[in-house]
Amino acid sequence: MRENVHIVGTASQAGTYVLRIRAYSGRLVWMGKGKRHRQVSFPKGEYLYVGSARALNPKMATSLGKRLVRHASRTNGEHQAIREAIIEVFASIGLGPADPRPRAGKSYHWAVDYFLDDPEVELTHVYAIRCSEELETALGKQLELDAATRIVERGMGAGGVPGNTHLLAVQADDVWWGSIPGRLRDLAGDAT
């Protein structure tokens, strides 16, 4: 599983990331809270989610290490198979605190939390860049416009970035997925 965790850069505890997600069957997932609570249809297939963690202090909940371990956790206390590999890789490169596990149980916060909590949905790969620059908006737009992606629902996963969609369906091969670390490096330029 360690080979499914791709981290580039060394400059920061903050960063931008892409999650590669697989839905093993078509899903209707309840997402959002209050008036925004609605069912969203996710056909069987692969998806990506673009996010960032801006805290520069590794002890803060929003450091890159803590954010990615959180995404690999489920609200019921079970975890994605990749979670231990993420923790091992981060410990070996000094990303985040010695133990990045959340202190309390996970609750729903982002749109992707609802999707990743479904037992038929697996977080299969993590691609991240350690960089203090804000890259989420540019990467989200770049991937949204890519011919291999399709918008599931406009605005999903990009509440803080009006006009972007950060949870996308993907029809691509492993070569395309392998290009993600290079895209992150290209966006960051010399900041890594």
Q: At what angle do helices 136-144 and 180-188 cross, to 10 degrees?
A: 130
pLDDT tens per residue, range 119-174: 999 999 999 999 888 898 899 889 999 999 998 887 666 566 666 678 899 999 99
Q: How many domains does the chain have?
A: 1
Per-residue confidence (pLDDT) for residue 156, from 0 to 100: 65
Note down the domain range covering 176.
2-191
Per-residue confidence (pLDDT) for residue 28, from 0 to 100: 82
Q: Taking 60 as the threshold, does the pLDDT of residue 89 lie above it?
A: yes
In DSSP terms, 7 is beta-bridged to 128
- Global pTM reads 0.88
Strand 121-130, strand 38-42: pairing: unpaired
Distance of CA 72 to the CA centre of its chain: 9
Continuous segment of H or E residues that includes residue 106? none
